[in-house]
């Protein structure tokens, strides 16, 4: 078993690749624009979750049915909302930032947890400080990795509790505001909607929503995404895409290398980037099954939480600043 992460002093690979690709394929810039139709999907999925919760209450379904529906319909739907919460964090739904924040919070209604604004802060840091231990909350605590080790039953418990793990990791982060008026709004608004669902739809409707969110982040095929994106499966490669069939119902969230290269490109156009420039992506290791991945991660003793590359830099690299700036609207080449 590994005793530590793998360390690198190499530059962020996405900074290099995106600059090269923009020179070779300047037409990529036309896809760096918001996609407002995402708001329709957020509304529809939210309605599906609340309607499913209403059916559970109306038909007085047993606890077993609640769990079955939460693991099937609910987990996939809640994960969909994580996808769009992620789109909102990158201001990829509307032009004005305030409306992206509002719709990010709206995603939380059918998840039951006020995570949108916290996620926005720490996910943007993840992009700007990829794999820097002090500024990337996607990396496990060293103590966390040491406790879980490569033991299968500990990895199962870790996945079951991953929602809690994700909530705790930001305490390690040096940069980023932990609390502001938007975070307060997020908390107050979701408490209010939870109370409304509990009172007007029923207690088990809210229970179904919360259990769905619990499944969608951990021990579930879609939970494999948290492993797929950055756990090392090829020496030296930091980021991994998933090109399996669940992209069709999970809004291309598997196209993670493409997303890190061009964070301003909404989900709808990510496949076009790969199709336009196969020479940049076909040689990279990619996953084709989330189910196979999560089973391999759990039962393969070679897999543990140290299976990550960590960047030695403690300060933001100038070239990354330039790359991020180059993808801002109105940037002049």
Quote the DSSP letter at residue 219.
Answer: S
In a domain, 331, yes or no: no
Q: Are β-strands 286-287 and 241-242 bridged in parallel, bridged antiparallel, or unpaired?
A: parallel
pLDDT at site 214? 97
**Is the Cα torsion angle 310, 313, 315, 319 positive or negative in sign?**
negative
Lookup: tokens for 205: 């409707």
pLDDT at site 315? 44
In a domain, 116, yes or no: yes
In a domain, 330, yes or no: no
C-beta neighbour count of 7 within 10 angstroms: 11
pLDDT at site 313? 66
pLDDT tens for each residue of 67-76: 999 999 999 9
Q: What is the mean pLDDT of residues 26-51?
A: 98
Using pLDDT thresholds of 50, 70 and 90, give the confidence band for residue 175: confident
In a domain, 329, yes or no: no
What is the domain range of residue 60? Answer: 6-324
Q: What is the mean pLDDT of residues 20-25?
A: 97
In a domain, 135, yes or no: yes
In sequence order, the 6+-apart residues with CB closer than 8 A to the CB of 86 are 119, 123, 253
Q: What is the mean pLDDT of residues 297-304?
A: 97
In a domain, 252, yes or no: yes
Using pLDDT thresholds of 50, 70 and 90, give the confidence band for residue 224: very high
Q: What is the mean pLDDT of residues 285-308?
A: 98
pLDDT tens for each residue of 123-173: 999 999 999 999 999 999 999 999 999 999 999 999 999 999 999 999 999
In a domain, 217, yes or no: yes
Q: What are phi and psi of 191, to 5 degrees?
A: -60, -45
- Give the integer Cα–Cα distance in Å for 300 and 329: 44
Q: Give this prediction's pTM.
A: 0.92
Domain count within the chain: 1
Q: Which helix (H) or strand (E) holds 242?
A: strand 241-242
Residue 321 has pLDDT above 70, yes or no: no
In a domain, 154, yes or no: yes
């Amino acid at each position: 078993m590994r005793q530590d992460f793998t360390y690198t002093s190499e530059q962020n690979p996405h900074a290099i690749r995106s600059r090269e690709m923009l020179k070779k394929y300047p037409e990529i810039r036309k896809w760096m624009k918001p996609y407002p139709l995402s708001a329709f999907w957020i509304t529809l999925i939210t309605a599906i979750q609340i309607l499913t919760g209403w059916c559970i209450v109306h038909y007085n379904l047993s606890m077993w049915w609640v769990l079955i529906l939460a693991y099937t319909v609910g987990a996939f739907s809640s994960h969909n909302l994580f996808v769009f919460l992620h789109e909102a964090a990158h201001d990829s739904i509307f032009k004005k930032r305030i409306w992206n924040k509002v719709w990010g919070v709206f995603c939380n209604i059918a998840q039951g947890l006020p995570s949108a604004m916290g996620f926005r802060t720490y996910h943007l840091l993840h992009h700007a400080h990829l794999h820097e231990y002090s500024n990337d909350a996607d990396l496990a605590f060293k103590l966390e990795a040491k406790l879980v080790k490569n033991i299968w039953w500990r990895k199962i418990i870790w996945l079951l509790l991953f929602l809690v793990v994700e909530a705790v990791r930001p305490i390690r982060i040096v940069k980023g505001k932990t609390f502001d008026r938007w975070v307060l709004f997020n908390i107050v608004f979701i408490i209010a909607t939870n109370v409304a669902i509990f009172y007007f739809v029923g207690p088990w409707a809210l229970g179904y929503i919360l259990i769905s969110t619990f499944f969608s982040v951990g021990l579930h095929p879609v939970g494999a995404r948290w492993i797929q994106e950055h756990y090392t499966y090829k020496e030296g490669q930091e980021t991994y895409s998933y090109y399996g069939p669940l992209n069709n119902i999970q809004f291309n969230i598997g196209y993670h290398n493409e997303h890190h290269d061009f964070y301003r490109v909404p989900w709808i156009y990510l496949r076009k980037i790969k199709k336009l420039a196969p020479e940049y992506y076909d040689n990279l290791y990619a996953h084709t099954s989330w189910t196979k991945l999560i089973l391999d991660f759990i039962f393969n003793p070679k897999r543990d939480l140290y299976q990550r590359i960590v960047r030695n830099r403690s300060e933001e690299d100038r070239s990354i600043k330039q790359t991020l700036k180059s993808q801002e609207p109105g940037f002049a080449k």
